[in-house]
Structure 1
Amino acid sequence: MAKKITMQQIADHLGVSKFVVSKALSGKGGVNEDTKERVIQAASQLGYFSQKNAYVKKPDRKIAYANGKQSVIVLMPNIRSQTRESLYWGRIMEGISMQLEEEGLGMVIISEQSVDSFLDILNPNGILGLIGVGQISTPLLLEIHRIGLPIVLVDHEDPLIPSDTIFVNNVDAMARLANHLMETGHQQLQFIGNNRFSRSFRDRFIGFRSAIEERGLELQAIGEAMENLVGVENNEFAGEIRSWLINLKKSRTMPTVLVCANDFIARTTMKSLIELGIDVPGEVSVTGFDNIDVGYSDIPLPTLTTVHVPKEAMGRRAVEKLLERLAKVNEPMEKILLSGDIVFRDSTTAARVQ
């Protein structure tokens, strides 16, 4: 039997007092953010969070709200366009809502990022668990884990907090897309997007890179300007894309296809190309990812080749996984990958013969 990891062991590992470790893990404050982060990382590395009954208090899941329904907390911090109105995140929320309704369960939506404010409204004895949508801070997830709530995360994972997770298979889907483009003759492919923005962006870049490397092609440098593209749901980065494309055009180093991390970046890229007199897809093909209807452009654009992300299905599967977790609390955590399908439209064509 593995030896139980204690707060004292964490303290000894870091060279701090047990009191500091206790404060950092309590979520109540009393230590600075750097120290708290060090404690959380050390606790995770030593296996403190993964051991049974390490520090969590298990509430009674049979207590219902006054309306007679047991409920699930759905947490989606209002950051980076992570809102219910989002064409991406909102569809995931719709899937969660529909599945909870079919299961006869209530839904309490929280968009609060503060741990203290979160606890003020949270009654652990009145809920079944929590589904997190999008990026959620480690301290907040730690506090949820501390009070013993089962957690399922959608399109996000935290290496320090054990939880079930739901993603689309970003790596494989992007690799399939890149391979299709190369099969149609494209040899100069460029990925556009900040691979540090989210786990999904990073996985999409990994899929793109692996396909390129397997074909023996040179991976094009992303460039400083492209590192700032985070894929928010507006065209605030249009100026950066336009400047970057102008430089490529002047230096005659324009790739034959631009593989964008999501549809918002792709639509902005197509608009800039057309404004610069570059034909899409005749001269440059463009692809996106997510399959959402981005309708902000003021000029006609080709319909976008993209990868369809089953957003509502991700939300539904998160509810199913939470209920499975409640029934089998001691089973290993799972990372569930839903398949993404390539949707071929007018923004891509075979590479021109030189």
Structure 2
Amino acid sequence: MKHKVTMQHIADTLNISKNSVSQALSGKGGVSEETRKLIAETAFQMGYIYPQGRVNKMNDRTGCIGLIASDYAFAQKNFFGEIYLEIEQEVAKRGMNLRIQSIHQEAIDRLSLPRFLEDQQIEGILILSHLSTEYINTVIKTGIPTVLIDHHHPNIQADCILTNNRFGAYDAVQHLMDLGHREIGFAGNIRYSPSYYERLEGYRMALEDHHLELNPDFIIKDAKEEMDAVLRQLSRMKQQPTAWFCVNDALGFLFNSGLQQFGMKVPEEVSVCSFDNGQLSRMATPTTTSIEVNLKFYGIKAVEQLFWRIEHRGQPFMEILLPTTLIQRESTGVCNRVGQLV
């Protein structure tokens, strides 16, 4: 039979006095803000049940959910904007309000949290894309249930809603192989995001499964999303692969255009496949084959998981992988050559 968790149990766990625990959980003064948050978080984790009539400030029903992201993420309206709109609708369906805060780089560096987080004015928090690991952990230490969207890290203990990047990249490379390509390049900045590193892993997995040798000369792991940088990288290559897999649509757009500036025809001489299926993949000439991410489903699952976490604080954290779909367009075609000089 499971024993009832008491204030003394919490005090013993934290090696502090029972009086400090009582003051913190009743919302009274006498303990620092940092200690109060630590006690509240420990109480949640241990399954402490508050006596009737006693209200923990962290458990007050505020009717609000928070959403934070970097300035850069909020600026990516074609990708994160659609996720945000779905989140707003899903939160409203549950009769709650969404509070949004853009996090400037200065705040990230200073580990400065939005006021609604500091003052415990929300019941749960969604973090869109990546901030620094230290900043995200500072958010988590408030004890407010947290769900990450399109980001994770081994040093972050929280639920995460993620794209199945490895399998999506695998499908992209598989598509190119099905068209007869055996010399396939990779382009992305794997230090920028865990998602891009995982797409490199999916690329490698596909090559290995088809017993194709990995050519390091065809892998660009520090690709910049600038035309001049793409042209420089292409010009340094002694030989061009017959196809490129790019980690996002921006790079796909730039490689599509850059290769044509070098006089190569897409897809007759070189194919290009990208990831995200955003606006740039449809604007490119020729239009770019891309891996689609269901952005609306991202928002739905994030809100669903956050509300589940609010009610199940002591359960193990989960990473939920969302499937992808290959959208074939004009930029990929049957391989008609072996790799050639630029």
TM range (shorter): 0.7 to 0.9
Mean alpha-carbon deviation: is it higher for 339-348 or for 178-187?
178-187
State the partner residue of 1:101.
92
1:193 aligns with 2:188: yes
State the partner residue of 1:165.
160
1:135 Cα deviation (Å)?
0.6
State the partner residue of 1:22.
none
After TM superposition, list the pairs within 5 Å mapping 1:212-223 onto structure 2: 212-221=207-216
Q: Is the 8 A contact 1:59 1:148 kept in 2?
A: no
Where does the alignment leave 5 or more consecutive residues of structure 1 unmatched?
Answer: 8-25, 28-47, 65-69, 232-236
Identity in percent: 26
Q: Is the 8 A contact 1:192 1:222 kept in 2?
A: no
After TM superposition, list the pairs within 5 Å mapping 1:173-322 onto structure 2: 173-221=168-216, 226-229=220-223, 231=225, 237-248=226-237, 251=238, 253-294=239-280, 301-322=285-306
1:5 Cα deviation (Å)?
8.2
Deviations 1:143-193 (A, max 9, x none): 222221111000111322311000111111111221221122111001101
CA distance in 2, matches of 1:223, 1:86: 31
CA distance in 2, matches of 1:230, 1:75: 26
CA distance in 1, matches of 2:300, 2:122: 18
After TM superposition, list the pairs within 5 Å mapping 1:35-184 onto structure 2: 52=45, 59-64=57-62, 70-78=63-71, 81-113=72-104, 114=107, 117-122=112-117, 124-184=119-179
What is the one-letter code of the residue matched to 2:87? I
Q: Is the 8 A contact 1:75 1:109 kept in 2?
A: yes
CA distance in 1, matches of 2:70, 2:170: 30
1:350 aligns with 2:341: no
CA distance in 2, matches of 1:150, 1:199: 23
Where does the alignment leave 5 or more consecutive residues of structure 2 unmatched?
Answer: 1-11, 16-33, 36-40, 48-55
CA distance in 1, matches of 2:102, 2:282: 26
State the partner residue of 1:16.
none
Determine helix, strand or coil for the equivalent of 1:122.
helix
Q: Is the 8 A contact 1:72 1:130 kept in 2?
A: yes
What is the one-letter code of the residue matched to 2:233? W
Q: Is the 8 A contact 1:195 1:202 kept in 2?
A: yes
1:53 Cα deviation (Å)?
5.4
TM-score (norm 2): 0.78
Greater C-alpha radius of gyration: 2
Task: Provide the alpha-carbon RMSD of the alignment.
Answer: 3.1
Relative to structure 1, is the Cα distance of residues 132 and 193 closer, same or farther in structure 2, using a 3 angstrom cutoff?
same
Q: Is the 8 A contact 2:111 2:135 kept in 1?
A: no
- Give the ranges of 4+ consecutive aligned residues of structure 1 lying more than 6 Å apart after TM superposition: 4-7
Determine helix, strand or coil for the equivalent of 1:218.
coil
Relative to structure 1, is the Cα distance of residues 52 and 330 closer, same or farther in structure 2, using a 3 angstrom cutoff?
closer
Count of aligned pairs: 296
State the partner residue of 1:329.
313
TM-score (norm 1): 0.75
Q: Is the 8 A contact 1:84 1:93 kept in 2?
A: no
Q: Is the 8 A contact 1:75 1:132 kept in 2?
A: yes
* Greater share of residues in helix: 2
